[in-house]
Structure 1
Amino acid sequence: MSLLFKHLRIHQIFGANTDVGKTILTTALVRASASLKNEVFYLKPISTGPIQDADDEHIIRHSSTFKDRVHADCLYRFHVPVSPHLAAQLAAGEESQKIVPDGTFINSIRSYVQRSASRASGPAHMYVETAGGVHSPTLSGTTQLDCYRPLFLPTVLIGDSRLGGISATISAYESLLLRGYIVDAILLFRDDYYRNSEYLTPYFAERGVAVTATDPPPPKASDAAETFASTERYYENLDILPTVRDLNTRHEERLAELDSMPRRSLDAFWWPFVQHGLVKGEKDVTVIDSASSDFFSVYNSQTTDKKSSLDAQLDSSASWWTQAFGHAHPALTLAAARASGRYGHVMFPQATHAPALELAERLLDGPGKGWASRVFFSDDGSTAMEVALKMALRAYSVRNNLRGIERKKVGVLGLKGSYHGDTIGAMDACAEEGVYTCEWHNAKGFWLDPPTISIQHGRPVIALPPALAASDTMCESDVASDSESWVYDVAGRLQTPLAEVYRDYISRTLDGLHSARGVPRLAALVLEPIVMGAGGMIFVDPLFQRILVDVVRARDESPATEPGSWRGLPVIYDEVFVGLYRLGMQSTIPLLGATPDISVNAKILTGGLVPLATTLASDSIFRAFYGPDKAEALLHGHSYTAHALGCEVANESMKLIEKATQSEAWLAAQARWQEPGTRNSVWSFWDPEFVQTVSSMDTVAEVMALGTVLAIKVKDSGAGYVSQSAQTLLQSLKVTDSESPSEVPDFSVHFRTLGNVAYFMTSLNTAPETIRILENKIWNVLQNSD
């Protein structure tokens, strides 16, 4: 949600420390900008201390020559000369709710900048001066670097010319870089004793940043008039115009770069999951200049001078389901830097390092608690599923004494609509009628058509596939329920008539497969628990999946095995999409009431920052590879297996998850879904009344929501993955709403569809007010289409 104007060049002024001359040098920049006949805006968001010492007052006093072109303002003024967070606390007294939250603070700056852009009659400059050092706190206590980050304004860093200033300046610069800031220039005073500028100039030249050293201001005189006169003479003799011109050039170069990116991208990229024949031209290319929290800042070349060229766009697919805490979360960024600085990358076979070991132990005590004994690391969800398949098929082959060509003829049992990744082995574990195929794809197994769950006209409905409905004359094709909590009460439904229908159907189908031609010997059960994501956000009846696991394990034809080892077929849970609270639960295992033998996690595992995946396995699976012969080992690995950077980020992500699950937003969302007289095991960040309302709209076939996920299936006679109906129906979400409440910055919505299914996804910490705005946008579009 950053700002970039064609006619208003903005720079934010940060200091390497307090009392390094930010206001003195900013005043020089203001005067130099005004001398070029530009209108100049100066903003001090927070000021503490007496009014006569205020920085904006200094700007006004020493820009009187250009008073018709210079405008100076302060948004939050406190008269106590202390840190802003303390000044805010003292002003609020006992009423802590009066302290201005970060969102309100940033929105007030954004509104001021937008008003200034509208006010400017021609080319203009703006300087936003911070307080103290880069990590000095703002009103809420958040450090400035993190608080100001959503604005993503290009930066001028004022270096420290005093003793220790070299270190302070470099540290401040690196802190800015760690949060993605663009540092366009460094200014500091010249000091003939410490001579910091002599060191810093070549140091930063190697990093592409120019350093400008100026004479320091004259000392204050005892007489105020003399102080003013000497300071005026100082400014008149200070030549800082080259820096201002360089800042102007940087601004123009940034705009030119953004302008050129669509054409260059069309010439360079082969995008995933994109039919290039449908890309009409540069206007179809989304240019993401930066990202923060749940939003992209998207470049719009068609804006007028009065409007920012960067539009806020909500990342409502959580960047392909990876985001857990929004983009550019500082804790995750610092975790990555910490591990990168300590290790870089080190190879992993028969080695260990702290981040990997800590993560493995976390997972074994988390989603793997009570059943898993080992963690195997890999690159992403697809490769982790390849590992899981290797584990399961080897375990089955060893137990059943399969050798040679017999091992190559085994397959998997799964569900239609499943998807486990785009590598060849993962594709082979999916039905051939899926769209995620290639010339080498060779489906190896059998896939059952599962019953699904959705909300239709305000009620949960279990839809049975034709084969299952026809298997019992007493069973309807749709089974309605008054309670979603009942649908997901798997333990309570195990003895219901529908459960018996499921058991009978699965048992008879598996009996028939023994004599079926063209079906390989089944050696593993592979499931996406609860929701099959890429197949179309298919919410599977969890009772069906639980009974499938039970039936498979009850049909154990293997020789006698040790207690606790896998039975029937090794069971794999692909939790790449659904795991680690994407559905509001750490794992789907407690809801299903059945543990797997192997499970896979990725995506949320690292909070969406870097690729990393894990395959958890039970001890009996591990033992299938254990022995004196190296050929019996799991000979699988990746160059970046258990890379320290990813493991450290994952550990930080797990800590943030634990904190999020105890937040007020989570508790409030869970309470909204709580049904009277029940202990609801499922809930969603999406409002239940919104879900029910949308499910009754004429253009909507069904809706489903769990945790962060909302799926809306559009009525479409030609439904399927290649359908454009959902994309077409909701296309206007990609346009900003001019009638959005003024206190909330407007945003468009970046969303993706799976045929006639549109899905929307929050992070684990998306602000409730953002979700409510998105719900309103979706409802308005659907209502207008009815």
Structure 2
Amino acid sequence: MDSPVASLLWRSLRVHQVFGANTEVGKTVCTNLLCKLAKKLWRDEHVSFLKPVSTGPLNEADDYHIRRFAAGVAHKTLFQYDIPASPHIAAPASGKPVPLDNDILLQCRAYAAERAARGKGWLFLETAGGVHSPSPSGSTQGSMYIPLRAPAVLVGDSRLGGISQTIAAFESLHIRGYDVEAVLLFRDTKYQNYLFLMDYFDKHHGIPVTSIPEPPARADDADKDAEAMAAYYGGEECEAAAAQVLALLDRRHAERIDSMESLATQAHQHIWYPFTQQACLKPEDIITLDSAHGDYFQTLARPSTSTEPDTAVLRSSFDGSASWWTQGLGHANPRLTLAAAYAAGRYGHVMFAGCIHKPAMALASSLLDAMGNPRLTRVFYSDNGSTGTEVAVKMGLRAARMRYGWDAHQKLGIVGLKGGYHGDTIGAMDMAEPCAFNEKTEWYEGKGYWFDYPTVLCRDGNWSIVVNDKLGEVMTGGRTYGSLGDIFDVQAREGRGEHHQYEEYIAQTLAALQRKGLKFGSVIIEPIVVGAGGMELVDPLFQRALVHTVRKSPHLFTSSASPPPKDARDWSGLPIIFDEVFTGLYRLGRFTSSSYLGVHPDISVHAKLLTGGLLPLCATLSSEHIFHVFGGQDKSDALLHGHSYTAHPVGCQVALESVRQLQSMEKSGAWDWAKSQGWQKAEEEEEAGHANDSLVWASWPLDFVERLSRQTHRIAGVWALGSVLAIHVRDDTIAGYKSNAAQHLRDAVAQGRSGGAGGPWNVHCRVLGNVLYVMTSQTTTRETVQQIVRLVEESLT
């Protein structure tokens, strides 16, 4: 199986991609001129020309032109179609198999790697038609070639309307992350587009525009035509212009590598990293990112990772943390990029208090509809998950205080789970129990009670409910189930009475806390998975029992009679807050992780995947009953919380596009391949079209998860759900965040593989103490998962 495509960057080989602003603008003439003069000026180096896709007769093909007028330049066409039409028409009409985009990219890189192995040189990769001319598969070239990340030369249009075409082509490349190093175009005396474009690109982008004389008109006599073109290419003006462009490309190539190789040292001197003990950080530990696309970073390769004569500067690194749990639709997703550009161009940022704009309203409506929660009617926007949970608790505490008549200065806590962590701002930290994250934070004052809970693990091939020692003192020990789906079938388990001991334990604990005089204003939990607290998969029946017990037991939170709920949508006992910042929006396979529990929260918080990983935004959803608590006439009765960038249009527009894409993928069956990897029994698959809350699946094959779990000498347990894989490495000396047990496995997968057709690659992931977790995105392919599966298993041998 081929490896992912690493970008085209070597120290010795300068690779440049030539795009045209349109068809028939002179791409081949300009490329030939660059090839010819590079061969003349760099006599001791090899010069190459690559045409990935070509259409039309062979005697008119671009590499035929190179062969004829650029002696000594190596040339190759990967896919040639005789039909003179767009590749998306010519390829299927040829009767040959239509290559996938990745097939073309892999062959481009393989050819570049072969040329790089020959030593110093140049490679010019010429595209077909304009920037958005289709590839054989139908995607546009501007999007297809992004993973190669080759610096671009844009051949402008010198014809009538060419100014607009050239600027539009540049902006299409620029918005997709291409570095356009130079613009070349013919010096047309009639329209003189080059004069305007020289001024425009210099003033707005600092990019040089070089004009060259127009080639002679094509002669009817082939020999005379060849003589005229040979004379044209050898002309002083053409050579001087090409020499100017080549000198720039040569200099920029060296500057790019020098800049990347110095970034880590500069960062070590000036950057303060999050969650990093920098006293232990060395410059060589810092990973330099050149770009990202799809599931992969392009990272600076360590010299020791390859023994090739000329090592690749970059390698592909699978983004195994989904960029800290945010990335879901692939890095540099063109649709998200365009959504951001549209909103930036239409609004920029506009203040939100007392105002509304379409992206914010459309996103609010979309979220409320998709949640399927009859309680939720309001959306409060903020900037990230940490502040979003603070907003949620402000809502919940006020609601509880007002209903129970507590004094405004009454100290209130929250009810949560051990290890639960809801953000790094001071208020959010106070919702967490004392732990490594806050033990040395001067203003920390944990306010609440945090329950022990049973967890789910696959151990030695068996799916089990695990009860820790402390919880085991008051609760029956864990048990084994036939499948993860059986554990998540909470209604069937309730039918067997499995919830009774949970509810009894929860009620007795809350009663004991009440006798101590403690008061609580909200319940806040991460549904299904406790994330930062150690990637613990919580028994869903326990969380369901917690919600049910709180809601039917208002007497456990106040000593006096309290008004009953106004209706079925009103909260009871305490407001229930679900922190779905990590677990929501399909991270665990469903739009909302609350659906696994079969209960509706009064407040829920959503971020991270909300914008597909492009930029920060958070939405805190609330019930109408919570909202009305803040409806007094005094301004101080309002929810006095906000951010300068509240509901910024760019974030809302991107989030709207992200949510739509995710919902469309679910509807179209985009994840059916993952669901078929052993997670669902035949009878469950038949019920997939019906309501069945026990259906679970993961991107990771079930047999792989169970194989890992059988390595009991090294692995304490494994679980997978949705896009997440969590490997709990055995550590008999220290538990939790301070453990280093998982670092060896992390380092092993970070070594990766030296290559293949796509180049070197590895997996970049993070650990939480003794837990190594790896996440796919919602667009990750089966083939990519299989590659990572093999790498993980090899790393454990």
TM-score bracket for this pair, using the shorter chain length: over 0.9
Give the one of 212, 219, 222 matched to 1:221: 219
- Supply the AA of the counterpart residue of 1:514: Q
Measure how far apart 1:482 and its partner are.
1.7
> Does the alignment pair 1:553 with 2:551?
yes
Measure how far apart 1:103 and its partner are.
1.1
Q: Write the deviation string for residues 189-219 of structure 1: whole angstroms up to 9, x where unpaired.
A: 0011101111110111121110000100001
- Supply the AA of the counterpart residue of 1:753: V
Q: Does structure 1 conserve the Cα–Cα contact (< 8 Å) formed by 2:610 and 2:655?
A: yes
1:360-371 alignment runs, 5 A limit:
360-367=364-371, 369-371=373-375
Q: Which fold has the larger relative contact order, with Cα–Cα distance below 8 Å and residues 6 or more apart in sequence?
A: 2
**Could you tell which deviates more after superposition, 374-383 or 657-666?**
657-666
What is residue 425 of structure 2 aligned with on the other side?
423
1:737-748 alignment runs, 5 A limit:
737-738=753-754, 742=756, 745-748=759-762
TM-score by length of 1: 0.95
Give the one of 4, 15, 37 matched to 1:10: 15
Output the CA distance in 2 between the equivalents of 1:108 and 1:199: 38
Output the CA distance in 2 between the equivalents of 1:676 and 1:131: 48
Q: Write the deviation string for residues 528-582 of structure 1: whole angstroms up to 9, x where unpaired.
A: 0000110010110010000110110111242233112110000000000000000
Give the one of 180, 200, 204 matched to 2:201: 204
Measure how far apart 1:325 and its partner are.
1.1
1:136-215 alignment runs, 5 A limit:
136-206=133-203, 207-215=205-213
What is residue 289 of structure 2 aligned with on the other side?
288
Could you say what secondary structure the match of 2:631 adopts?
A: coil
Q: Does structure 2 conserve the Cα–Cα contact (< 8 Å) formed by 1:610 and 1:646?
A: yes
Output the CA distance in 1 between the equivalents of 2:59 and 2:521: 81
What is residue 558 of structure 2 aligned with on the other side?
none
What is residue 99 of structure 2 aligned with on the other side?
100
Query: Gapped runs of 5+ residues in structure 1?
Result: none
Give the one of 602, 608, 613 matched to 1:608: 613
1:65-84 alignment runs, 5 A limit:
67=72, 70-84=73-87
Aligned-residue sequence identity (percent) comes to: 44
1:645-656 alignment runs, 5 A limit:
645-656=650-661
What is residue 725 of structure 1 aligned with on the other side?
741
Q: Alignment length, in residue pairs?
A: 763
Question: Are residues 776 and 488 of structure 1, via their aligned partners in 2, closer, same or farther at CA, if it must alter by over 3 Å?
Answer: same
Output the CA distance in 2 between the equivalents of 1:197 and 1:101: 37
What is residue 264 of structure 1 aligned with on the other side?
266
Could you say what secondary structure the match of 1:661 adopts?
A: helix
Measure how far apart 1:630 and its partner are.
1.7
Query: Gapped runs of 5+ residues in structure 2?
Result: 1-5, 556-561, 688-693
**Could you tell which deviates more after superposition, 686-695 or 430-439?**
430-439
Q: Does structure 2 conserve the Cα–Cα contact (< 8 Å) formed by 1:6 and 1:305?
A: no
Output the CA distance in 2 between the equivalents of 1:662 and 1:775: 27
Give the one of 597, 600, 604 matched to 2:602: 597
Measure how far apart 1:466 and its partner are.
3.0
Q: Write the deviation string for residues 67-98 of structure 1: whole angstroms up to 9, x where unpaired.
A: 2xx101100000000001101121248xxxx3
Q: Does structure 1 conserve the Cα–Cα contact (< 8 Å) formed by 2:745 and 2:772?
A: no
Measure how far apart 1:125 and its partner are.
0.7
What is residue 567 of structure 1 aligned with on the other side?
572
Give the one of 681, 704, 707 matched to 1:675: 681
Could you say what secondary structure the match of 1:314 adopts?
A: strand
Q: Does structure 1 conserve the Cα–Cα contact (< 8 Å) formed by 2:438 and 2:444?
A: no
Question: Are residues 588 and 513 of structure 1, via their aligned partners in 2, closer, same or farther at CA, if it must alter by over 3 Å?
Answer: same
Give the one of 75, 90, 93 matched to 2:93: 90
Give the one of 327, 330, 337 matched to 1:326: 330
Q: Does structure 1 conserve the Cα–Cα contact (< 8 Å) formed by 2:417 and 2:525?
A: yes
Give the one of 57, 70, 74 matched to 2:64: 57
- Supply the AA of the counterpart residue of 2:116: A
Output the CA distance in 1 between the equivalents of 2:54 and 2:199: 34
Q: Write the deviation string for residues 679-737 of structure 1: whole angstroms up to 9, x where unpaired.
A: 55111010000000000012111000000000000011222212221012331211132
Measure how far apart 1:156 and its partner are.
0.2
- Supply the AA of the counterpart residue of 2:103: T
Measure how far apart 1:336 and its partner are.
0.2
1:256-655 alignment runs, 5 A limit:
256-279=258-281, 281-300=282-301, 302=303, 306-367=310-371, 369-406=373-410, 409-437=411-439, 438-472=441-475, 475-476=476-477, 478-516=478-516, 520-557=518-555, 558-563=562-567, 564-655=569-660
Give the one of 689, 705, 708 matched to 2:720: 705
Q: Write the deviation string for residues 253-275 of structure 1: whole angstroms up to 9, x where unpaired.
A: 11111111111110110000111
Could you say what secondary structure the match of 2:566 adopts?
A: coil
Could you say what secondary structure the match of 1:387 adopts?
A: helix
Q: Does structure 2 conserve the Cα–Cα contact (< 8 Å) formed by 1:114 and 1:307?
A: no
Measure how far apart 1:308 and its partner are.
1.3
Give the one of 693, 706, 716 matched to 2:731: 716
- Supply the AA of the counterpart residue of 1:776: R
Output the CA distance in 1 between the equivalents of 2:463 and 2:760: 34
Measure how far apart 1:340 and its partner are.
0.2
- Supply the AA of the counterpart residue of 1:189: F
Could you say what secondary structure the match of 2:737 adopts?
A: coil
Q: Does structure 2 conserve the Cα–Cα contact (< 8 Å) formed by 1:485 and 1:675?
A: no
Output the CA distance in 1 between the equivalents of 2:746 and 2:434: 30
Structure 1 residue runs of 4+, over 6 Å off? Answer: none
Q: Does structure 1 conserve the Cα–Cα contact (< 8 Å) formed by 2:752 and 2:791?
A: no
Q: Does structure 2 conserve the Cα–Cα contact (< 8 Å) formed by 1:5 and 1:305?
A: no
Could you say what secondary structure the match of 2:217 adopts?
A: coil
Q: Does structure 2 conserve the Cα–Cα contact (< 8 Å) formed by 1:368 and 1:616?
A: no
1:106-121 alignment runs, 5 A limit:
106-118=105-117, 120-121=118-119
Output the CA distance in 2 between the equivalents of 1:394 and 1:726: 42
Q: Does structure 2 conserve the Cα–Cα contact (< 8 Å) formed by 1:600 and 1:615?
A: yes
TM-score by length of 2: 0.94
Q: Write the deviation string for residues 363-400 of structure 1: whole angstroms up to 9, x where unpaired.
A: 11011542201000000000000100000001111111
Could you say what secondary structure the match of 2:498 adopts?
A: helix
Output the CA distance in 2 between the equivalents of 1:272 and 1:248: 37
RMSD of aligned Cα (Å): 1.4
Could you say what secondary structure the match of 1:313 adopts?
A: strand
1:124-139 alignment runs, 5 A limit:
124-139=121-136
Question: Are residues 706 and 436 of structure 1, via their aligned partners in 2, closer, same or farther at CA, if it must alter by over 3 Å?
Answer: farther
**Could you tell which deviates more after superposition, 242-251 or 487-496?**
487-496
Give the one of 48, 55, 60 matched to 2:55: 48
Output the CA distance in 2 between the equivalents of 1:163 and 1:452: 69
- Supply the AA of the counterpart residue of 2:789: E
Could you say what secondary structure the match of 1:587 adopts?
A: coil
Could you say what secondary structure the match of 2:99 adopts?
A: coil
Question: Are residues 707 and 331 of structure 1, via their aligned partners in 2, closer, same or farther at CA, if it must alter by over 3 Å?
Answer: same
Output the CA distance in 1 between the equivalents of 2:430 and 2:288: 35
What is residue 691 of structure 2 aligned with on the other side?
none
**Could you tell which deviates more after superposition, 680-689 or 327-336?**
680-689
Output the CA distance in 2 between the equivalents of 1:664 and 1:28: 49
Q: Write the deviation string for residues 323-380 of structure 1: whole angstroms up to 9, x where unpaired.
A: 1111000000000000000000001111111100000000110115422010000000
Q: Does structure 1 conserve the Cα–Cα contact (< 8 Å) formed by 2:610 and 2:617?
A: yes
**Could you tell which deviates more after superposition, 227-236 or 660-669?**
660-669
Give the one of 783, 791, 795 matched to 1:769: 783
Output the CA distance in 1 between the equivalents of 2:471 and 2:302: 54
Could you say what secondary structure the match of 1:32 adopts?
A: helix
